[in-house]
Amino acid sequence: MSIFVSAVGFGVASGAVIALASLGFTLQFGLTNTLNIAYGSFITLAAFVGYGFVQFGLSPWTTMAIVAAIMGVLSVAYYGGFIRSLIRRSIGFGPLAIATAAALIFIEYTIVLVAGTTTRSYGLTSGTTYHLWDFVWTSTQVAIIVLAAALVTMFQLGLRTTRLGRALRATAANRTLARACGIRVERVSVGAWMISGLLCGVAGVALAMTTQAFTYNLGLTFLIVIIAAAVVGGIGEPLGAVTGGLIIGLVTQVSAAYFNPAYSDVAAFVLLIAALLLRPTGLFGGQARRSNVATA
C-alpha cells in the first residue's frame, strides 16, 4: 500500500473531526457574525471534561454524548452572557473578535488552573483495524467517520426540513428580512449556538480520542485548522465548512506523510492564504456573497 493512500485514509478520518468542528464554528459566524476565537478553548474544554468522564470509567462514546450536551449548554451560556451583550452594544466585528480572543485566554488558563499543564491521554487502544479498499482505519476512526457523516447529513436535512432549520437559513441569509417574516431571530441564534456547542463537544472528544496526547493548548492549535477549513469552504456556509474540513484533513495528512509531520499545520496555513488570495469567498462562497453572510 502506498504512503499516499495511507495518508488519504488518515486524512479522511482527520477531516471528519475538522468538518464537525468547522461546521459549529461557521454556524456561529453565519448566524451572529461572530468570529469566535474562543471556539478553540471550547474544544480544549470538551477534551478535558471528556478526560474526566473517561477517568471516571465511562466509555468514550457515552462520554462524547454527555460532553456534547454540556458544551451545548455552556455555548448558549457563553453566547447569552457574553457575546450577545457585546453585540447589543454594537462594538463592531473586530473588537468582538478580540473580546473572544480574551475569552479564549481566560478559558485556557482556567483549564490550566484546574487541570495543570500535564499532558493527558484517553489511553484508548487502537482496537480492531479495518481494511477498506486500500485504506486502513482503526475502529475508532471508522466510528468517528460514520458519526461525522451522520451528524452532517442530519444537519443538512434539518436545515431543509425542520422549522428551526428553515429559520436558521433565513436568519443567516438576511437577518432583518427574517425578522420581517416573523422569525424570532434571537431564539434562532440561541439554537445555533446550542447546535454549535454540541458539535464542538463531539469534535473535542473525537479529537482527544484520535490524538495520542493533549494539553491545555489543544484547541488553540486546532483553531487554525478550523478557521482554514471554514475559509477554504466559504465562511458562514455549512456545506463549505464540511468540504473545507475534509480538504484540510487530506492536505495536512498527505503533507505530513511526505514532509516533517510537525509542520503539517503549515499546510493548513498555506491553504488558508491561498484561499484568501485566489478565492476569498471560498468554494461555496457564491451563496455567501449573494446572501451577504460573509460580508455582513
Partner 1 sequence: MSWAEGQPLARNLRCEDVVAGYGDVPILKGITVTAHAGRVLAVVGPNGAGKSTLLRALLGLLQVRHGRIFLGERDITNEPLEELSRAGVGYVPQIDDVFDSLRVSENLSMGGFVLSRAKQQERLAVVLDVFPALSKLIRRYAGSLSGGERKMVAIARVLMPDPDVLLLDEPTAGLSVELTQMVLETQVRLLATFGKAVLLVEQKAEAALKVADDAAVLVDGQVVLTGSGPEILKNRHVAEIFLGSNIGMNR
Where on the chain is the footprint of partner 1 (CB under 8 A)?
166-167, 169-170, 173-174, 176-185, 287-288, 290-293
**CB 19 → partner 1: shortest distance, Å?**
21
Smallest gap from Cβ 80 to partner 1, in A, equals 17
Q: How far apart are CA 14 and CA 144, in angstroms?
A: 9
Choose between 157 and 180: whose C-beta lies nearer to partner 1. Answer: 180
Name which of 175, 224, 219, 222 is nearest 30 in CA terms.
175
83/167 with CB nearer partner 1: 167
The residue among 20 and 167 lying less far from partner 1, judged by its C-beta, is: 167
Cell numbers for 193, please give them.
449556538
Q: How far is the CB of 64 from partner 1 (least distance, A)?
A: 33
Comparison of 178 and 202: residue with beta carbon closer to partner 1: 178
Q: Which is nearer to partner 1, 131 or 184 (CB)?
A: 184
Q: Which is nearer to partner 1, 136 or 173 (CB)?
A: 173
Minimum distance of partner 1 from residue 84's CB (angstroms):
15
- The CB-of-27 to partner 1 minimum distance in angstroms stands at 15
d(CA 141, CA 148): 10
C-alpha 59: how far from its chain's center?
22
Q: How far is the CB of 234 from partner 1 (least distance, A)?
A: 11
Neighbouring residues of 282: CB distance < 8 A, sequence distance ≥ 6: 230, 231, 232, 233, 234, 235, 237, 240, 244, 275, 288, 294
Beta carbon nearer to partner 1, 223 or 293: 293
Instruction: Provide the residue count of the chain.
Output: 296
Amino acid found at 198: L
Q: How far is the CB of 182 from partner 1 (least distance, A)?
A: 4
On whether the CB atoms of residues 144 and 16 are closer than 8 A, the answer is yes
